[in-house]
Amino acid sequence: MEKTNFTVARVVTHTRAGVGKCERHNERKNENYGNMNVDLERTPMNVHFKACGELTYNETLDRLVADGSVSLRGLKENAKIYDEMILDVNTDYFERHGGYKFAKEFYEEAYRFACKLYGDRNILSAVMHADEINLALTEKYGRPIYHYHLHIVALPVVEKQVLWSKRCKDKALVGTVKETVQQVSHSKKWKSQRVVDKQGKPAFDDKGRPKLIPSYSILQDEFCRHMQGAGFTDFIRGERGSTADNLSNLQYQIKKDTERLEEIQEKIRAEEAEYAVVHPVHKTHAEIDEMGKKTLTGKITVSQDDFDTLTQLAKEGVSGRGQLNRLKEENSQLQARIWSLQGSLNRLQGQFNELAERCRPYLEAVRFMPEKVKELLDSVLAPLRKCQEEQGRSIMYVKGKSRENRGDIR
């Protein structure tokens, strides 16, 4: 049965302080990569549909803020400033449609989709990676197969209207638009949408809460629809609501690396067995010694047949030893990677078990006496909520006084 191809569209957020790691990976600024499947000799084949030139992502952002193109007003120091959107289809899809050339055409159209979503001026970088090898398909096809995907780094900008406040001298202006700014705001850019029924009215669940469509689910729908509308077919939208990849990512990596490790070890055993059977050097030392005859001048002469045999054995030995060394090196790398992944998995499992144990009494109480638990929580949280409301009013009052002192009037 032929494998079904799926589109993938996901968004990862970065702060100003944390975007450097993303930048080094996307723009290939590292000298070495933890992902050993990156082939740096092929990196020049990566395609930039948009780039920052000599500037870094943060330097480009500073320039956009300075010329008024975007605003960071009101954002905290650790705010989510950058969106990194990864657009993808499984590797086999591109290989069946022409490989590198087809991938460039596909992701050029995917970049147009991103421009519709963010606006071209708000995209800092858009690069198609063509230098990450897919080991499984490489073995399947018997030649290097690369996984093509698109990284887009953009600013989640929304249009924000700033209104004249009540402290404005001209009361006719109060509540009217003072200025419109292009505000960076990930939360407003990616708001969930409310579900409506056939009559266009908001839909609610069994508990009376509004039904919402997650923003990233909408992104998946729109990406698939855009690409199919542009003439790219033979794929379907990624599984709706699936979290399997996120929940079992480490387990999956360990499983695939373990399988790969077993294959390499089997090849090593086969190579060693082949050399033990085909080239029993320890049994033929005398025969090899007899191949040459020493002349009066001290040189060794051999027959043409013996020379050809020795040459062939030498070539096979050098070639086989190189292959064996490469397999052993990859074996060591995979073993180290598996140990690292297993360690991460164990740590996460420990944290999960600890959290589950802490929550166990509460969950049991909720299951047997939900109403009493709710009453208890309401009684405990009520003073806290009241305190937070009072703090909020106090902060708003202080902010208001501060603006008045700054002369925020006309």
Residue 134 has pLDDT above 80, yes or no: yes
> Where is pLDDT greater, at 176 or 78?
78
* Claim to verify: residue 269 and residue 227 sit in the same structural domain: no
Looking at residues 293-300, what average pLDDT do you find?
A: 66
Would you state the pLDDT for residue 406? 46
Q: Which of 175-184, 248-257, 303-312, 382-391 has the highest mean pLDDT?
A: 175-184
Residue 50 has pLDDT above 90, yes or no: yes
* Claim to verify: residue 233 and residue 276 sit in the same structural domain: no
Question: Which stretches does DSSP call E strand in 3-156?
Answer: 6-14, 47-50, 82-89, 123-129, 149-154
- Please indicate, yes or no, if residue 57 is contained in any of the structural domains: yes
Non-local CB neighbours of 110 within 8 Å, separated by 6+ positions: 87, 150, 223, 227
- Please indicate, yes or no, if residue 50 is contained in any of the structural domains: yes
Would you state the pLDDT for residue 122? 94
Would you state the pLDDT for residue 342? 62
Would you state the pLDDT for residue 15? 94
- Please indicate, yes or no, if residue 405 is contained in any of the structural domains: no
- Please indicate, yes or no, if residue 106 is contained in any of the structural domains: yes
Residue 230 binned pLDDT confidence (cut-offs 50, 70, 90): very high
* Claim to verify: residue 231 and residue 259 sit in the same structural domain: no
Structural domain for 137, as ranges: 6-162+216-242
* Claim to verify: residue 226 and residue 335 sit in the same structural domain: no
DSSP state of 174: T
Would you state the pLDDT for residue 266? 73
- Please indicate, yes or no, if residue 172 is contained in any of the structural domains: no
Would you state the pLDDT for residue 129? 94
| 12-16, 19-23, 39-43, 195-199: the lowest-pLDDT one | 195-199
């449609």: which residue's tokens?
Answer: 97
* Claim to verify: residue 40 and residue 135 sit in the same structural domain: yes
Which pTM does this prediction carry? Answer: 0.57
Q: Which of 246, 22, 16 is nearest to 152 (CA)?
A: 22
> Where is pLDDT greater, at 179 or 53?
53
Q: Which of 97, 96, 84 is nearest to 129 (CA)?
A: 84
pLDDT in tens, 74-109: 888 889 999 999 998 888 899 888 889 999 999 999
* Claim to verify: residue 268 and residue 342 sit in the same structural domain: yes
Residue 52 has pLDDT above 80, yes or no: yes
Residue 149 has pLDDT above 80, yes or no: yes
Looking at residues 13-23, what average pLDDT do you find?
A: 92
What three-state secondary structure class fits 206?
A: coil
Q: Which of 162-171, 196-205, 225-234, 325-334 has the highest mean pLDDT?
A: 225-234
Residue 61 has pLDDT above 80, yes or no: yes
- Please indicate, yes or no, if residue 258 is contained in any of the structural domains: yes
> Where is pLDDT greater, at 368 or 51?
51
Provide the domain count of the chain: 2
Q: What is the number of alpha carbons within 13 Å of residue 100 lying toward its C-beta?
A: 14
> Where is pLDDT greater, at 243 or 86?
86
Contact between residue 108 and residue 49 where contact means Cβ atoms under 8 Å apart: yes
- Please indicate, yes or no, if residue 404 is contained in any of the structural domains: no
Would you state the pLDDT for residue 148? 92
Would you state the pLDDT for residue 19? 93
Residue 384 has pLDDT above 80, yes or no: no
* Claim to verify: residue 35 and residue 152 sit in the same structural domain: yes
Q: What is the largest CA-CA distance in the chain?
A: 118
> Where is pLDDT greater, at 161 or 387?
161
Q: Which of 212-226, 238-252, 273-287 has the highest mean pLDDT?
A: 212-226
* Claim to verify: residue 146 and residue 57 sit in the same structural domain: yes
Would you state the pLDDT for residue 410? 39
* Claim to verify: residue 145 and residue 13 sit in the same structural domain: yes
What token pair was written down for 193? Answer: 């949408």
CA distance 30 to 359: 42
- Please indicate, yes or no, if residue 397 is contained in any of the structural domains: no
Looking at residues 192-204, what average pLDDT do you find?
A: 74
* Claim to verify: residue 292 and residue 334 sit in the same structural domain: yes
* Claim to verify: residue 149 and residue 80 sit in the same structural domain: yes
Would you state the pLDDT for residue 282? 41
C-alpha gyration radius of the chain = 32
Looking at residues 337-353, what average pLDDT do you find?
A: 64
What token pair was written down for 124? Answer: 């800092």
Contact between residue 37 and residue 137 where contact means Cβ atoms under 8 Å apart: no
Q: At 39, which CATH number?
A: 3.30.930.30
* Claim to verify: residue 13 and residue 152 sit in the same structural domain: yes
Would you state the pLDDT for residue 249? 42
| 36-50, 149-163, 271-285, 299-313: the lowest-pLDDT one | 271-285
